[in-house]
């Protein structure tokens, strides 16, 4: 059996990354979403084990020291991490994993795991990005400025990503992510076992043209 692969999607806050990932997973329910661990409190409507694994800071630090995370970062005072055990188990089963993580975590995944596709989502323009952040009425102006400053920093990481999606239109952006997934599945390196099986199976003598 061929090993699984993974797709890492990153974006500055306000680019629409979560909406793209949700639609993508609806189109391909066989793809597993990597649920991150976090120390932040759940937001209204979030479900433990589905959106995040919500744990205490003490438990997170304990897991980090034990090497449980493939990557971990601190963001706005909260800790986030990806389970290395979950990733290894899914990949060993030939499963495709979708990771929705920011660039610092994505870079650690790139260092620790071979292959995979790294996708960066951008809004149509910087002006649109600021407009979307300002449209979040529940956030204070200081929080919006902090998110925009972080977005500027994250944009500098785009150079090492494999693919870039401009989220001008949600349907188009989702289709582009689907195209990336299909391309990953067709890579020779992803089909080694299937190719070997094909090449090792001889022609039937009865099927040869006489």
Output the pLDDT for position 207: 62
Among the ranges given (30-39, 58-67, 190-199), the one the predictor scored with the smallest mean pLDDT: 190-199
Per residue in 60-81, pLDDT (tens digit) is: 999 999 999 999 999 889 999 9
Domain boundaries, the chain: 6-191
Contact between 97 and 6 (Cβ < 8 Å): yes
Output the pLDDT for position 138: 58
Token digits for 101? 């993580």
SS3 for 36?
coil
Largest CA distance in the chain: 80
- As a whole-number percent, the residues of the chain with pLDDT over 70 amount to 94
Output the pLDDT for position 209: 60
Output the pLDDT for position 147: 79
Per residue in 88-129, pLDDT (tens digit) is: 999 999 999 999 999 999 999 999 898 899 999 999 998 888
SS3 for 47?
coil
Angle at which helices 126-134 and 141-155 pack, to 10 degrees? 150
Name the band, by pLDDT with cuts 50, 70 and 90, for residue 189.
confident
Which fold, 6-191? Rossmann fold (3.40.50)
Higher-pLDDT residue of 5 and 135 is 5
Name the band, by pLDDT with cuts 50, 70 and 90, for residue 142.
confident
- In this predicted structure, the answer to whether residue 1 has a pLDDT above a threshold of 60 is no
Nearest CA to 86 among 99, 102, 101, 105?
Answer: 99
Q: Show Cβ contacts of residue 123 under 8 Å, excluding neighbours closer than 6 positions.
A: 12, 14, 15, 16, 129, 132, 166, 167
């Amino acid at each position: 059996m061929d090993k699984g692969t993974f797709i890492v999607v990153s974006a500055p806050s306000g680019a629409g990354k979560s909406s793209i990932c949700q639609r993508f997973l609806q189109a391909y329910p066989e793809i597993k979403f990597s649920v991150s661990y976090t120390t932040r409190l759940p937001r209204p409507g979030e479900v433990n084990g589905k959106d995040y694994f919500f744990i205490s800071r003490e438990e997170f630090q304990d897991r980090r020291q034990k090497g449980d995370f493939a990557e971990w970062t601190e963001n706005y005072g909260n800790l986030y991490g990806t389970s290395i055990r979950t990733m290894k188990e899914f990949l060993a089963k030939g499963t495709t994993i979708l990771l929705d993580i920011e660039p610092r975590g994505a870079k650690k995944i790139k260092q620790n795991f071979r292959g995979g596709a790294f996708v960066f989502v951008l809004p149509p323009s910087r002006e649109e990005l600021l407009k979307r952040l300002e449209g979040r009425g529940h956030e204070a102006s200081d929080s919006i400025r902090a998110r925009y400053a972080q977005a500027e920093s994250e944009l500098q990481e785009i150079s090492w990503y494999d693919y870039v999606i401009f989220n001008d239109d949600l349907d188009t952006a989702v289709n582009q992510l689907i195209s990336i997934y299909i391309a990953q599945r067709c890579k020779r390196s992803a089909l080694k076992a299937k190719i070997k099986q094909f090449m090792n199976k001889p022609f039937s003598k009865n099927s040869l043209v006489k």
